Amino acid sequence: MSDKKEFSIQTSLIHSNGVDKETGAVSTPIHHATTFHQSDFDQYGNYDYSRSGNPTREKVEEAIAELEGGVRGFAFSSGMAAISTSFLLLSGGDHVLVSEEVYGGTYRMITEVLTKFGIEYSFVDMKDLHEVACAIRPNTKVIYMETPSNPLLNITDIEGVVKLAKAHGCMTFLDNTFMTPLLQRPLSLGVDVVLHSATKFLAGHSDVLAGLAVTGNEEIAKKLAFLQNSFGAVLGVQDCWLLLRGMKTLHVRLKESSESAFKIARFLEKRGEVEHVFYPGLTYHQGHEIQVRQAEGPGAVLSFRLKGAEEVKQLIDNINIPVFAVSLGAVESILSYPSRMSHASMPREERERRGITDGLLRLSVGLENVYELIADLSKGLDAIKLTKPSRIINL
């Protein structure tokens, strides 16, 4: 597979690890060794200590670098470890401009940890390029994007933000967890560092925590390698292997789940109990046209709004297929309740201002039979109707 570049991502995903050179094994060997024998007194081999480099971890790092079109990838013990380590590229006195719809853990890292080291931040509505331009300060070092956003799937114009960043000499980071490199390749749009919670679609089976960072810039790659080794939050070899295995089927999983998500979005928008469906594939969705331009598809996550908490309870009590939990991007469909899960710590007013009301649910569509999923959701929505009259009487 020396000419991998000729092949589609679908094919590369299957063969990106190649076969093991020594044994011909088609599954990447797990190298448990933490230390490596050096055969000469002053000539050292490629590996010395596993925090600095490990052959199994290297396979994941090469795979994600290839998929994202970067020069180097880095594997971390979680998405937050990848994100936090990348923030160590900043120094005290620097400023980071962040999408206000950022992942909760990233929000916490920026507002409660980085501030201790004198790193300043401000949140902006990344959908609004004018607002972004106005918020850039002389000490802004990083503009941090997440698109589509969570949980409302709002779209940021990546190239628009990159242009502003470049004009002001700032780096750009982008959390690509929701899209994966199959649907969105931010480095090709000029982004400097792409971040992943590989816990989600890339691994795909709700059984491994992992994080990845990729860059297309040699300078940044050197710095990230230094920081990964210095901070030390590397991905363990067993988890590297699980992630590699998950990534092999990413194409078929994401394709199937995205098609199902589209069908479910279309089903939900026709239901009277549903006030609004948030899905980048719908033509009326915020940023739909930008999404069509910058990504290969709308993905497998959608959100929908019911009237309120009571309606959410009725639905949850009457469906059987999706697990009701945090997280996303797995073989099983996962229904999440942002106002009580991921955004529970946000004051109600802030939350509602961002559209995360008590009636909002997020669905990460898995690989179940889509017609069974729709029938299940339909049963849940029917239950809302059925209880309405009794509620009126109770009032």
**16, 17, 50, 78: which one binds ligand PLP (CB under 6 A):** 78
**In 101-249, which ranges are continuous DSSP H helix?**
104-108, 129-135, 158-167, 180-183, 218-231, 237-248
**55, 79, 297, 299: which one binds ligand PLP (CB under 6 A):** 79
Q: Which is nearer to ligand PLP, 297 or 380 (CB)?
A: 297
177 binds ligand PLP (CB under 6 A): yes
Catalytic residue among 103, 121, 144, 279: 103
Per-residue contact flags (x/-) with ligand PLP for residues 312 to 351, judged by CB under 6 A = ----------------------------------------
The one segment of 130-138, 184-192, 194-202, 244-252 that binds ligand PLP by CB under 6 A = 194-202
Q: How many CA atoms lie within 13 A of 184 on its CB side?
A: 30
99 binds ligand PLP (CB under 6 A): no
Q: Which is nearer to ligand PLP, 83 or 187 (CB)?
A: 83
Q: How many CA atoms lie within 13 A of 194 on its CB side?
A: 32
The one segment of 62-70, 74-82, 117-125, 227-235 that binds ligand PLP by CB under 6 A = 74-82
Determine the residue type at 68: E
Q: Shortest distance, CB of residue 355 to ligand PLP, whole angstroms?
A: 17
The one segment of 18-26, 76-84, 369-377, 381-389 that binds ligand PLP by CB under 6 A = 76-84
Q: Is 49 a catalytic residue?
A: no
CB 71 within 8 A of CB 117: no
199 binds ligand PLP (CB under 6 A): yes
Q: Is 200 a catalytic residue?
A: yes
Q: Which is nearer to ligand PLP, 178 or 304 (CB)?
A: 178
Considering only CA atoms, which of 87, 91, 177, 167 is closest in space to residue 132? 167
290 binds ligand PLP (CB under 6 A): no
- Torsion (CA) 110, 113, 116, 118 in degrees, nearest 10: -30
Determine the residue type at 61: E
Q: Shortest distance, CB of residue 177 to ligand PLP, whole angstroms?
A: 4
CA distance 355 to 65: 35
Name the residue number minimizing CB distance to ligand PLP.
79
**80, 124, 189, 361: which one binds ligand PLP (CB under 6 A):** 80
Per-residue contact flags (x/-) with ligand PLP for residues 142 to 161, judged by CB under 6 A = ----x---x-----------
Report the SS3 class of residue 49.
Answer: strand
Catalytic residue among 94, 157, 175, 239: 175
Report the SS3 class of residue 216.
Answer: coil
- Torsion (CA) 292, 295, 297, 302 in degrees, nearest 10: -90
Residue for token pair 């959410």: 312
362 binds ligand PLP (CB under 6 A): no
CB 160 within 8 A of CB 127: no
236 binds ligand PLP (CB under 6 A): no
> What does DSSP assign to residue 233?
-
186 binds ligand PLP (CB under 6 A): no
Catalytic residue among 47, 51, 125, 266: 51
Helices (H) and strands (E) in the chain, counts: 14, 12
Q: Which is nearer to ligand PLP, 89 or 208 (CB)?
A: 208
CB 277 within 8 A of CB 355: no
Q: Is 371 a catalytic residue?
A: no
Tally Cβ neighbours within 10 Å of residue 287. Answer: 19
Q: Shortest distance, CB of residue 165 to ligand PLP, whole angstroms?
A: 20
CA distance 163 to 301: 28
> Any idea how long the chain is?
395
CA end-to-end span of the chain:
69
Q: Which is nearer to ligand PLP, 103 or 262 (CB)?
A: 103
- Residue 99, judged by CB atoms within 10 A of its CB (0-12, 13-18, 19+), counts as buried
208 binds ligand PLP (CB under 6 A): no
| Active-site amino acid positions | 51, 103, 175, 200
Q: Which residue ranges make up the site for ligand PLP (CB under 6 A)? A: 78-80, 103, 105, 146, 150, 175, 177, 197, 199-200, 209, 211
